[in-house]
Chain A
Amino acid sequence: MGGDGPIGVAMGLDAAWPSVPHPVIVVSTDGVVRALSAPAQSLLTAAVPGGDLSGAVPLWLSDAHREFVHRLSTADLADSVASGTVHGRRFDARPTVLDGEIAWWLLEDTGRDLRDTQQALTREQARTAFLDEASAVLMATLNVDRCMTATVALATRHLADAAAVVAPVSGNRLPIVCGTDGAVERRRVDADPVVVAGLSEALRGFPPVPSRWIDPAALPEWLVPESISGTVGSVLITPLPGLGVPAGALVLIRRTSEPVFGEDEELSARLFAARAGAALSAAALYAEQSAITSTLMRDLIPPRLNRLHGFELAGGYRASEDHQVVGGDFYDVHPGATPEDDTLVVLGDVCGKGLEAAVLTGKIRNTLQALSPLAQDHTGVLRLLNRALLSADHTRFATLVLASVARRDGQVTLRLTSAGHCPPLIVRSDGLVEEADTRGQLIGVLEDIRAKTFETTLAPGETCVLYTDGVTEARGGPLGTAMFGEERLSAVLEQCAGMPAEAVVERIMMVTTQWVGRRAHDDIAVVAITAPRRTHLSAVDGHTAGRYTA
């Protein structure tokens, strides 16, 4: 650490400077760097002993040195502290007068630095907490309207006095949700986004645009919530970036009395907009998918069954995959043209589960609807259906039951034909449970099929039950592994003598689903056809005056 020069007092001091553990730079009165400590050297990398001061230190320090030297002569040395930054760190520079030299000590105000750092940290923590809350609230909902409302609510709580979310044009109108903290309004405005500078670009999403300031005077009234008090001071428009498609634009409004948006707040607004945009975009995509699905599913959902031409009809359905609404089991009803004509009731089971099987049930239902006028001959209908299935691309098959029901001469007549399916059960008034004597071959496999039809009548209070094997083959029970079985079903039906059709269906569905508990199960479908217990003036749907039907 010693110098190479001749040893003298001045030289010794110069040699000692590098080992001072604090940033200090020693400069001659004519602006030449004499020495500097090691910490100063790492701070002022360009400084070299013997070199010029002005190239080695920031301007504020070299100016301060020159000024100080000038004042040396006037001996006015009080308050000779200079301040400035070196490489982003803030220093106070304090001079010490030596013989022909000034030693500039660079001191960091660690107290102030600490406070500054703490303030910055607090701001960051607040921003993180806000963005965290925003994420939690926005990601929770896949509903577009709620998402826009939540965005406005969050913005008005944390970022601005008023806010508006503008969604892309739909149906020739501009959907807007705007508000202040606590009061949110929804509007659909017949206006062109180009009237507001920056709005149409933000809504288009391409080319990507940053947020921009707009003149408060140019803000149209349809963007300003009614509940805002005071005049508009500053307005910021930020695009809401979506997932490949623009989700909309966010407009933040501050009143004149509030401070203008700072750079830090602009950053917060942008980060918030990114989250809001992602959530809004996901909600819009979900809504679109949902609408398509609902429309397509409408025809696949089992129909509501009601009182028809003098007899009761009820159905129950539970798909195997709980989140699916439809599956491979189905039922349908094709009412006769007049009350004396047969009504065709169908219940069936396509092999497989889930949506693919459901699509096939739709095709079968449509085919049977076309064939229903021919239902005088069940076997003929089954043969035509069989041919239709054989000629299709897939290799799926199905079992089903056809039931032709009519009320004639005060009695409910039934013709039942099973095609490979569990035969229907008939609950008589005395509680006896009878199995319909019908059998037939399943459809969609064999070239030609045969079937035998069973005819019977239902006395008042008697019920015919069609069901799929989701009932009888349900596994569960108190010990968890037993099959529900045909015997148990018969035992349940014995208790259902005289019950209305919906009650019979409800009882079977209840007992079956209680049997399986939370375990997996196959599709379950049940239809009950019941002869009403009481004859009465028939009122169709409760609206028209009916005929006396006894």
Chain B
Amino acid sequence: MSTTVPAARERLWDAVRDGDEYAAAAAVFDAIDTGVTPEDVLLEVIAPVQRRIGTEWAANRITVAEEHTATAINDRVIAALAHHPANAQRPVSGRVTVACVDGEWHALPARLLAEVLRLRGWQVDFLGAQVPTPHLIAHLHRTGPVAVALSCSIPTGLPTAHAAITACQAAGVPVLVGGAAFGPDGRYARLLGADAWGPDARAAADLLAAGVTPGARPSAHQPIDDLPHLGDQEYSLVSRTAPQLVKATVTEVEHRFPAMQTYTDQQRQHTAEDIAHIVDFLATALYVDDDGLFTGFITWTADILAARGVPATSLHPTLESLQGQLVDFPRTQRLLEAALIALGRTATDLEPIA
């Protein structure tokens, strides 16, 4: 059986799709046996397979259940790899903490980083998914690591990530962040005051090796110092009244589309959830004051819907309803208008050439 890296990837992909952890482990261990380093197995075989799980779900080629199963298989393979006697490693470098911010369920990217760091000789405390910030701080006080690596994959986790970053820095520990939520160029990492950002696990591990030093900050640094626009309260008001906004939007949208009134309970539930998701992203975009975050989400949602056979224009009524409800909020209006414009472009992108 061929054991080059691309071949190992294919074998692993087939195994996780099939939910077959033994075939998955075999694919990985065969690669090790023919000289692929454990770090390369983690980053060139397992990580790409995990990314592929995400894109396949987005394209509606696998279900949510299959996504969870595949992730669980990948997780087991990483555990098996860690326990393999060939990968035993005594800690020789400093101590570091790796964790996902509260609300973040995608633990695999952080897990991969934790394993890479362990292989490189760090003493790693991996706290897992969804770590409440007070737990994280208590852990930092107890263990005094040289740095903390925080992972956040979903943009709506950015406000929580900001609180976690500030709290860790206030406890005297420099913060390295990573994950899709911070943007492809790490722009939100800079905005939220993180001390370092890595686009992938290898870059993050290299940064930690070079040493993450705390940036210069005034004493008693508060989150609002990074984001002065929060003073206009638009973010607080939108996020606090989200349930009411969603309810009103559902009612309005149903009004405009009589067909919706014959929806089953489950369909109505899904609609409400989709709208709640949009409001959540709107609030996050208000938090970082970035049009791109909201328009990016809206166009991505349009693509997801298109893959499931739903036209992009179904998003218009939601955005217009929110425009009407939040008339007095200038930054909100700006975001909604930008999203509608972006949608207009997307709809024409997707129209079939007559």
Contacts and interface: CB of A to CB of B under 8 A. Distances in A.
B132 A146 contact: no
A542 B130 CA distance: 28
Contacts of B19: 498-500, 533
Interface stretch (B67-75, B196-204, B230-238, B310-318): B67-75
Contact of B83 (A145, A286, A478, A542): A542
A26 B105 CA distance: 90
A480 B240 CA distance: 11
Interface string A494-506: 0111111011001
B132 to A, nearest CB: 4
A290 B138 CA distance: 8
A141 interface: yes
A159 B156 CA distance: 46
B278 to A, nearest CB: 10
B65 A499 contact: yes
Interface in A122-142: 132-133, 135-137, 140-142
A323 interface: yes
B68 A143 contact: no
A137 B172 contact: yes
A507 interface: yes
Range of interface residues on A (Cβ < 8 Å): 35 or more
A542 B141 contact: no
A322 interface: yes
Interface in A494-550: 495-500, 502-503, 506-507, 510, 513, 533-534, 536, 542-543
B48 interface: no
A287 interface: yes
A480 B246 CA distance: 9
Nearest to B249: A478
Contacts of B171: 140-142
Contacts of A477: 272-273
A478 B22 contact: no
B219 A143 contact: no
A337 interface: no
B172 A143 contact: yes
B218 to A, nearest CB: 9
Interface residues of B, number: 45
Contacts of A323: 132, 134-135, 138
A498 B75 CA distance: 17
Given A132-B219, A143-B142, A481 B243 contact: yes
A283 B143 CA distance: 12
Interface in B83-111: 83, 102-103, 105
A480 B135 CA distance: 26
Given A290-B142, A498-B19, A478 B272 contact: yes
Given A499-B72, A502-B75, A542-B80, A133 B132 contact: no
B276 A499 contact: no
Nearest to A325: B135
B144 interface: yes
A479 interface: yes
A15 interface: no
Interface in B237-271: 242-243, 246-247, 250, 266, 269
A146 B135 contact: no
Interface in A272-286: 283, 286
Nearest to A318: B130
A542 B171 CA distance: 40
B69 A498 contact: yes
Given A146-B144, A478-B276, A495-B65, A322 B134 contact: yes
Interface string B15-28: 00001111000000
Contacts of B76: 500, 502
B72 A503 contact: yes
Nearest to A133: B219
A142 B140 CA distance: 9
A500 B73 contact: yes
Nearest to B172: A141
Interface string A278-301: 000001001100100010000000
Contacts of B132: 322-323
A150 interface: yes
Interface in A459-505: 477-481, 491, 495-500, 502-503
Given A140-B171, A499-B72, 12 more contacts: A133-B219, A136-B219, A322-B102, A322-B134, A479-B246, A480-B243, A495-B63, A498-B65, A502-B72, A503-B65, A503-B71, A506-B68
Interface of B: 19-22, 63-65, 68-69, 71-73, 75-76, 80, 83, 102-103, 105, 130, 132, 134-135, 138, 140-144, 170-172, 219-220, 242-243, 246-247, 250, 266, 269, 272-273, 275-276
9 contacts: A136-B220, A141-B144, A318-B130, A478-B276, A495-B63, A500-B19, A500-B21, A500-B69, A507-B68
